[in-house]
Amino acid sequence: MTNIAYATFAGGCFWCMVKPFNQWDGVHAVISGYTGGTLANPSYKDVKTGQTGHYEAVQIKYDPDKISYQQILALYWPQIDPTDPDGQFHDRGPQYRTAIFYHDDEQKRLAEQSKAELEASGRFKKPIVTKILPANLFYPAEEYHQDFYKKNQQEYLIDREKSGRDTFIKENW
C-alpha cells in the first residue's frame, strides 16, 4: 500500500506551478485549483475577480516515503518571488499571492522553519511575505487548466516567458 500525503501551495498562476512538481518520483498528481476563499465551488471566472478570497493554488498528492515534504518545500520556494505581497510577476491581485497551506502540525513546523531559513539567508533584501496558512477546502480548477503545460505547450511557454517568472528565477535563485 502506498503512503499518500498532500501539500498545497499558492505561487501565482497555477499553470506555472504544476510542471516543477510533476516531474519528481513519488509525486502522484499535481492538481490546479482554488483554496482559501469564501465562495463554495468557485469557477475561474469567480476567482479571477479577486473578490472571493481564493488563491490560485496547486495541491500535490505524493508518497512521503519517496519524496519528503522538506524536498517539496525546497522545490516550492525557487518557483516564486516570496517578497511580492500583491501577486506574482505579471499576474496581479489577491488570487495570485503566495502561500503555503499546511495539512498538519508537522507541515506547519517545516514550512515555518523553511521560511525562517530563507529570511535568514539574506537572499532577498525585502521581507518574505509568503503566508503560512492552514489548509482548507480545495476546489479543483476546470479541466482545461489541469496539466496546462502539457495540453497547450506553446501557449504555456509564451505566457511563462511574458510573465517574467523565468527571468526572476534565473536572477534570484
Q: Is 16 a catalytic residue?
A: no
Burial of 145 (0-12, 13-18, 19+ CB in 10 A): buried
Mean pLDDT of all residues in 72-84: 98
- Model pTM above 0.85: yes
Alpha-carbon separation of residue 155 from 14, 18, 54, 141 (angstroms): 14, 15, 24, 18
Q: Which of 5, 7, 10, 13 is catalytic?
A: 13
What domains sit in the chain, N to C, each tagged with a CATH number?
Answer: 5-168 (3.30.1060.10)
Look at residue 1 and tell me whether its pLDDT is greater than 90.
no
pLDDT tens digits, 33-49: 999 999 999 999 999 99
DSSP state of 125: S
Per DSSP, the residues of 86-98 read TEETTEESGGG-E
Look at residue 5 and tell me whether its pLDDT is greater than 80.
yes
Residues 145/14, Cβ–Cβ less than 8 Å: yes
